[in-house]
Structure 1
Amino acid sequence: MSIATGSETLKIMVIDDSSTIRRSAEIFLGQAGYKIVLAEDGFDALAKINDSHPDLIFCDILMPRLDGYQTCALIKKSAKFRNTPVIMLSSKDGLFDRARGAMVGSDEYLTKPFTKDSLLKTVRNYTSEEHSK
């Protein structure tokens, strides 16, 4: 699925319980000109998602209270956000994790720690910006 960005700035939500990962994503994406919404866990994300209307969501898998699979499933069950791409973030790169992510509706899987290039490439895969450059 592709997001048409037009003249609007793409808004990206990053859900991760690690402040280091949130900060890295915020720096990398901010430098690329994206608007960033940060959430510490699934509950925090669900509280912020309606107000922020992100165009793309990065979601950690292993989080306290509400894990990434549960968070992704709840986002995808919402009529308002079911078409919003959700990219799972995990330090594990196993087939089981990828399959389970796909089962709850995630659109892609990115292994942590990610690089600036891999993060931005993933964002570009879901935007039409690369076609306008």
Structure 2
Amino acid sequence: MTTTPQPTGLKIMVIDDSSTIRRSAEIFLGQAGYQVVTAEDGFDALAKINDHQPALILCDILMPRLDGYQTCALIKKSAKFHATPVLMLSSKDGLFDRARGAMVGAAAYLTKPFSKDSLLTAVRQHTAGLS
């Protein structure tokens, strides 16, 4: 049995105030066959989430106006998106940050800078069975 990744067409939302991180994630995910929607911060993401209905959300923690913890908590409180996996992105890799992410409902925690492999592995783990 081969494990060649097949294009999924699943929609992934990337929320990060860094255009470099958004662009990197967009390229990596796009090459793997995902549709990508980007948002610059939590407010931007919340404005776009209903229109795009992503299968998975990658969310930076340190953002202006509405940080990643607040954004994740608001997404998880939504009746429509409470089951959508949210993966936190952060340059901080502390136990406290991971615990706080888990408390607001994050499914996983990726440390930046992330590699293409680590990003795609995390996305695949949390979208298995979706199509």
**Structure 1 and Structure 2 fold alike (TM over 0.5):** yes
Structural mapping, 1:1-133, within 5 Å: 9-128=9-128
**Alpha-carbon deviation of 1:8?**
6.0
- Residues 34-91 of structure 1: CA distance to partner in whole angstroms, max 9, x if unpaired? 0000000000000000000000000000000000000000000001000000000000
Given residue 40 of structure 1, which amino acid in structure 2 is its aligned partner? Answer: E
Gaps of 5+ in 2: 1-6
SS of the residue 1:24 aligns to: helix
**Alpha-carbon deviation of 1:126?**
1.4
Once the two structures are overlaid, the 10-residue window that deviates more, 89-98 or 7-16, is: 7-16
Which 4+ runs in 1 deviate beyond 3 A? none
Give the percent of matched residue pairs that are identical in Structure 1 and Structure 2.
81
8 A contact 2:14–2:39 mirrored in 1: yes
**Alpha-carbon deviation of 1:127?**
2.3
Q: TM-score, normalised by structure 1?
A: 0.90
Given residue 39 of structure 1, which amino acid in structure 2 is its aligned partner? Answer: A
Given residue 23 of structure 1, which amino acid in structure 2 is its aligned partner? Answer: R
The structure showing larger relative contact order (alpha-carbon pairs under 8 Å, at least 6 residues apart) is 1
Cα distance in structure 2, aligned partners of 1:127 and 1:101: 19
Gaps of 5+ in 1: 1-6
Q: TM-score, normalised by structure 2?
A: 0.91
8 A contact 2:56–2:85 mirrored in 1: yes
**Alpha-carbon deviation of 1:116?**
0.2
Given residue 68 of structure 1, which amino acid in structure 2 is its aligned partner? Answer: G
